[in-house]
Chain A
Amino acid sequence: MMRYLAGRLLRALLTIFLVVTFAFFVLRLSGDPALLIMSVDAPPESIEAFRKSWGLDQPIWMQYLAYIGHALTGDLGNSMRDGRPAIQLVLERVPATLAITVPAFFLKIAIGVPAGIYAALHRNSFADRLTMLLSVAGFTMPSFVLALLLVLVFSVQLGWLPSSGSEGMANAILPIVTLGAAGAAILARFTRSAMLEVLGQPYIRAASAKGLSWRRVVTEHALPNAAIPTTTIIGFMVGTLIAGAVVVESVFAWPGIGRLLVVSVANRDLAVVQTILLFVAATMVSANIIVDFVYGWIDPRMRTAPR
């Protein structure tokens, strides 16, 4: 048990390390922050001074070793824009992001799971086809298109909700709905196919043959089994709570991590981008571990091998 846990943790750390390393090199090799931050017509000596002060004049592997060395002591560097610690900048934005991703997460489950179950139980019915049509529309439509559509209807036409900003609850509604719709679409489709798969299993017919009512067959025999794969997908959605809102935050000018990421990438604010990616990798990997353990907990077949 301990060995298994240790191995799992080691792999998780390795994944995070690889993400950070990859991000480091891609960022350094894809543009010069000095030119972006200092503006192109700045005198060459001040650009040089900027490079020196941020260590950008060092060979890239030296920069890398220095970064890793600092990161291991908990220092993730400072923002090149305002000089504050990157970690502080990022943490400031977490509540705003969670304020839309957490409600959206529950919205996905509240709509996606029941819709998928209903569609599976009424396969090929009008309701099923409609659900699947909406679902396809929901996850093929890029989220900025949906966002703009919603703005067009609810802000421009009806004037019910603000189109951007972060002044109050009303501002959060459209981002939440945009995020939730796409997730609900994926979840509905997934739940439906999980449910159909289970309904086709011999134990469902056997449960009916036992004399159980269809209602009990569905609730007591089909749902617990369909929950196993569905929970996995929901678990992975937990991993997107921090970073799943990049586009939506940008469209609605919502001051969360996603928007910070976009701005920081545009500015080549290296330390901030690195820190955000580290955060994202860490949440994704933790969600993965959690999913693994939940899987073992809800599926008895995962707990013991056949004798």
Chain B
Amino acid sequence: MGVPLIDIRGLTVDFDAGQRVVRALHGVDLAIHGGEAVGLVGESGSGKSVTWLAALGLLGNRARIGGEVLFEGRNLVGAPASDLEAVRGARIAMIFQDPSSSLNPVYRIGQQLAEALQLHRGMSGAAALAEAARLLDRVGIADATRRLRDYPHELSGGMNQRVMIAMALSGQPRILVADEPTTALDATIQAQILELLQEIRRDSAMALVLISHDLGVVAENTDRVCVMYAGRIVEDAPIATIFEAPAHPYTSGLLAALPDLEGPRRRLLAIPGVVPEPWNLPLGCSFAPRCPEFERACEAAVPPAIELVHGHRAACIHARSGSA
């Protein structure tokens, strides 16, 4: 597949919580190629957002980051602030869960877009505003020129997420990281936003990283999915494989816990227990205490990711190619 666009290797994140240091990310390996759409799925605290915030150096000074994030010939981990600033927004853009509070309430939409355009493309004044209007139009906001004068609180959540996407596009990035972009939105608005992301991707050859807790969202919008659990990627596979032949018991568990919309209703198979707290992880495989296939060997060591077939990795000692 050639050289990946971004290659995350052994990424770790430790949060300094005063009395103790808590490890939130335990060595994440993730490579994304140009134009690819990858989903990151997991429950809260699994590390799916932290991975990307750490890669872009957005976690603040209480986080200690280890490992490597190789992007365009540089390692972003430990890179000087100016290097990171040149990557953020311009090369790797990010949009967030709550669009209405991700925009600054005291500035007009136009000002905020113009700021990004000035930053990434050196535009200013009328040229920046004209380009801002074009971008708003591009993300499907009607009457764009007038909307430039609106404040974020005057727009709906869906509109604000469109504005965030327009802002992300202003730098013409290689990768767009969408962190739960539709979780705060209603179902019909979610469909609009996901459709927009698809459309932009088709037109721009930009890679998309879609972070979501919803397997359905990821299934419809990405080619490949990484399932995360307790700070690790436990399975990484093409979408079809994840649904038809999941190799990690956690992935199978997630699928069995989801109700269907069609067909006969069946009792949901819940995963017993709770996600372990990051400062209190079990020995060996973090999923072991909840796992139906648990055996003594699971506690011996953290299972490494095994490549089952090309493009399908799973971190489970029971994982076999093509089995569940």
Contacts and interface: CB of A to CB of B under 8 A. Distances in A.
The short answer to whether A and B are in direct contact, CB under 8 Å, is yes
Contacts of A224: 104, 106-107
Interface in A190-224: 201-203, 205-214, 220-221, 224
A307 B58 contact: no
B89 A209 contact: yes
B103 A211 contact: no
A30 interface: no
Interface in A286-307: 298-301, 304, 306-307
26 contacts: A201-B101, A202-B96, A202-B101, A203-B101, A203-B103, A203-B105, A205-B102, A207-B104, A209-B56, A209-B88, A209-B94, A210-B89, A210-B116, A211-B85, A211-B87, A211-B88, A211-B90, A211-B116, A211-B119, A213-B81, A224-B106, A299-B105, A300-B105, A300-B151, A301-B151, A304-B153
A206 B164 contact: yes
A225 B85 contact: no
Contacts of B97: 202
A298 B105 CA distance: 11
Contacts of B93: 209-210
B142 interface: no
B178 to A, nearest CB: 12
Q: Which secondary structure dominates where chain B touches chain A?
A: mixed
Contact of A211 (B86, B102, B151, B155): B86
Interface in B130-145: none
Contact of A301 (B86, B96, B153): B153
A272 to B, nearest CB: 46
Given A210-B88, A210-B89, A210-B116, A203 B58 contact: no
A302 B217 CA distance: 36
Given A206-B103, A301-B153, 16 more contacts: A201-B101, A202-B98, A206-B94, A206-B96, A207-B104, A208-B88, A209-B58, A209-B88, A209-B89, A210-B116, A211-B88, A213-B82, A299-B105, A300-B153, A304-B151, A304-B153
B103 A214 contact: no
B39 interface: no
B13 interface: no
B26 interface: no
A212 B107 CA distance: 15
B154 interface: yes
Contacts of B115: 210, 212, 220
A156 B167 CA distance: 63
B171 interface: yes
Interface string A71-97: 000000000000000000000000000
A212 B154 contact: no
Interface residues of B, number: 35
Interface of A: 201-203, 205-214, 220-221, 224-225, 228, 298-301, 304, 306-307
Contacts of B151: 300-301, 304
Contacts of A207: 104
A304 B105 contact: no
A212 B103 contact: no
Contact of B171 (A203, A211, A228, A298): A211
A220 B88 CA distance: 17
B318 interface: no
A-B CB proximity, top 8 nearest: A211-B89, A206-B102, A211-B88, A209-B94, A210-B89, A300-B151, A202-B101, A203-B104
A211 B88 CA distance: 5
Given A203-B105, A209-B94, A306 B153 contact: yes
Contact of A210 (B53, B105, B106, B167): B167
B19 to A, nearest CB: 13
A299 to B, nearest CB: 7
Contacts of B94: 206, 209
A225 B90 contact: no
Contacts of A214: 81
B119 A208 contact: no
A206 B56 CA distance: 12
Contacts of B98: 202
A212 to B, nearest CB: 7
B290 interface: no
A301 B105 contact: yes
Contacts of B9: none
Nearest to A206: B102
Contacts of A209: 56, 58, 88-89, 93-94, 96
